[in-house]
Structure 1
Amino acid sequence: MTPQESRSIVTLCLMAAFVDGEKHAREREEVRRIADGLAQAGDLSGLYQDVLMKRVSLADAVAGLQGAEARQLAYEMAVCVCDADGAQSGPEQAFLAELQGALGLSAGPAAEFAQQAQAVADAPLGRNAEVEAMLSSIEPAAAGPVPVPASLPAATPTPAAAQVDEAALDAQILRASILNGALELLPETLSTLAIIPLQMKLVYGIGKAHGYELDKGHIKDFLATVGVGLTSQYLEQAGRKLLGGLLGKVGGGLLRGVGRQAVSSGMSFASTYALGHVAKRYYAGGRQLSAQTLKDAFAGVVQEGQALQSRYLPDMQAQARTLDAGKVLAMVRGT
């Protein structure tokens, strides 16, 4: 893929991120930060401002896509950006329809992919047999006890928390982190999108273990409070894979990719690890932490997770070799 094609794809993803005009200010700022980071990594200077100031049109971006693979990938990534935070809005649907036409994609395959992406985004919160089987199969090779963060604030456990098997939850968080780290190594766009609902399932399960029946709205608010934007997280993960040459339906892409963790930031492992442990602390203490304390705690545990990433990279690579798009879809949707 040429540098111009990469620029066009990231441009279209930014257009998709802002098309409905409903992003919260903190999410818009996070998208800007990520766009700036991608610009530095891929020599894409001025990209965010070009989109924000409407100095580039959809037709301009599409014109930079010469290959059929690049056009397909551009559409898939734009769909996933729109689906990352839930059901598509009217403006998002209109944008994607216009993009499909401009790219010259066949309606059938485009619609099939859009349906698959929507199914991932709409995945139920409850853990299903596929997820349970996948997580239970992960046995970290690294020696030693399951790591737990040192940077979390102390808590006064609630009566419900006293009944929770903390060691089992710690092991569950580590396995979920390894699984999402493995998904970050896969080349398919849907695999990257699947990280978000799996993180939401993890938070749901932790809340339920402490006596809280959470809905998607609450979990999205929790993620946003700690600093995880759904759209921005997908954009960062997929954008870095794109610029590193890992993303896309390429023959042998997985085997080529699992040895190239430098392409991916390892943030899927670290952010899942942090989400799990901050959620565990939050619900164990009766949801008493302030928004700023949650944000600070998450940032601290992310750093601890990043320090652990190399220790568990072999486990992520081994897990990635067992996965494909079909397994990922079944795992997330429970079908």
Structure 2
Amino acid sequence: MQATEQRALLTIALLAAFADGNKADAEREEIKRIADSLAGDSGAPALAHLYQDVLLKRVNLAQAAAALPDGGQRQLAYEMAVCVCDADGTQSASEQAFLAQLKEALKLGNAQTAEVEREADALAAVPVASGAAATAAAAAATQAKVPEAELDGSILNHAILNGALELLPQSWASMAIIPLQMKLVYRIGKSYGYELDKGHIKEFIAAAGVGMTSQYLEQFGRKLLGGLLGKVGGGLGRTLGGAATGIAFSFASTYALGHLAKRYYAGGRQMSTAVLHDTFQSLLGPAKDLQTRYLPQIEQKARTLDAGQILSMVKAA
């Protein structure tokens, strides 16, 4: 893929991120940080001003779409945009209008887009707990506190799984990371006797400084620039180098978020937003270092994952 095509895909991703027009200032700053980081990591100066170009409307959807001559790239652009719009929940009316405009600009028909729309929408709508899981968690919460070692094991397993999702070539595979993180926080809260809904968990994750839209945007960007997207064959060995940063990010963010939730709910939810954010950052660095130790397990987990089973796996988690 040429640099101009990478830039066009990232432009569409940023346009999708701002399609609802309701991004908080913190989320905007996080998206800017990601754009700058991706530019630095790729060594492509042309990417450095991408965020400003999108925000100041110096580039539009038609221009970005025209820079993607290949049908596979146009399909990828639409898949990615759907995932960005779905990352923080169901689509708003403005996001739906944006996707309709994008589909037209990319000259894609309904038959070409139906599958990814169905998969992404299903992932966005996954509840934090099924009826059976909620009942089991409530029962556990009325008993003695869940052993710390058991919680630590669950956090590590979620981190390994989310790192493995970064190795899958499908553009929407990384979208499963967010509901898995939400389910992890839900279960940790339950273990300390707190009844959590999706809204509370989103607020907790946002307070930690993990934006849902920006997180998916970073995962997609690193897959794109690392050359992993679309590599269905060829084995993990040839793709691991390009995906290493993304693996570390997803493993570490999940691991740090889990341990932050442990501290927060064990302490009676007494942390302020500033303390939550600072504590998460203090956990993130060691978690990135820890990822190296568990890289063999992450690779092994990736080899066992089937893209068609991701939704079932997320529902059961």
TM over 0.5: yes
Mapped to 1, the partners of 2:235 and 2:104 lie a distance apart of: 28
Structure 1 window deviating more from structure 2 (243-252 vs 75-84): it is 243-252
Cα displacement (A) at 1:46: 1.2
1:31-180 alignment runs, 5 A limit: 31-42=31-42, 43=44, 44-126=47-129, 163-180=145-162
Task: Name the CA distance, whole Å, in 2 between partners of 1:307 and 1:14.
Answer: 29
The residue type paired with residue 93 of structure 2 is G
For residue 126 of structure 1, report the CA deviation from its aligned partner.
Answer: 1.5
Q: Is the 8 A contact 1:128 1:334 kept in 2?
A: no
The alignment's TM-score, normalised by the length of structure 2, stands at: 0.92
Work out the number of aligned pairs and report it. Answer: 307
- 1:73-118, CA deviations, whole angstroms, 9 ceiling, x for partnerless residues? 1111111100000010111101101111111112123022112101
Following superposition, the deviation at residue 253 of structure 1 comes to 6.6
Distance in 2 of aligned mates of 1:329 and 1:9: 25
Deviation at 1:28, TM superposition (A): 0.8
Q: Name the counterpart of 2:292.
A: 310
Question: Which runs of structure 2 are paired with 1:168-317 in the superposition (5 Å)?
Answer: 168-248=150-230, 250-252=232-234, 256-258=238-240, 260-262=242-244, 264=246, 266-317=248-299
Equivalent pair of 1:8/1:64 in contact (CA under 8 Å):
yes
Is residue 241–residue 263 contact of structure 1 (8 Å, CA) maintained in 2?
A: no
Structure 1 range deviating more: 86-95 or 31-40: 31-40
The one-letter code of the counterpart of 1:183 is L
CA distance in 2, matches of 1:248, 1:254: 13
SS in 1 for 2:57: coil
Q: In structure 2, do the counterparts of structure 1 residues 219 and 205 end up closer, same or farther at CA, with 3 Å as the change threshold?
A: same
One-letter amino acid matched to 2:56? M
For structure 1, the 5+ residue unaligned runs are: 131-158
Q: Which letter maps to 2:15?
A: M
List per-residue Cα deviations over 1:166-186 (Å, max 9, x = no partner). Answer: 110011111111111111111
- Of Structure 1 and Structure 2, the greater helix share is in 2
Q: 2: CA distance between counterparts of 1:46 and 1:327?
A: 38
Aligned-pair distance for 1:222?
0.2
8 Å contact kept, 2:223–2:242: no
1:2-45 CA distance string (max 9 Å, x none):
11111000000100111111011101110111011112233112
The answer on whether the counterparts of 2:182 and 2:201 sit within 8 Å (CA) in structure 1 is yes
Tell me which moved more, 165-174 or 41-50.
Answer: 41-50
SS at match of 2:155: helix
State the shift of 1:228 in Å.
Answer: 0.4
Shift of 1:330: 1.3
Distance 1:129 1:5, change over 3 A: farther
| Conservation of the 8 A alpha-carbon contact between 1:187 and 1:257 | no
Question: Do the aligned partners of 1:16 and 1:81 also contact (CA within 8 Å) in 2?
Answer: yes
Q: Give the C-alpha shift of residue 127 in structure 1.
A: 6.4
The structure with higher relative contact order (CA 8 Å, sep 6+) is 1
Kindly state the Cα deviation for residue 261 of structure 1 after the two structures are TM-superposed: 4.0
Percent identity, please.
60
User: Following the alignment from structure 2 to structure 1, what is the Cα–Cα distance between the partners of residues 232 and 89?
Assistant: 27
Displacement of 1:160 after TM fit? Answer: 7.5
Partner of 1:145 in structure 2? none
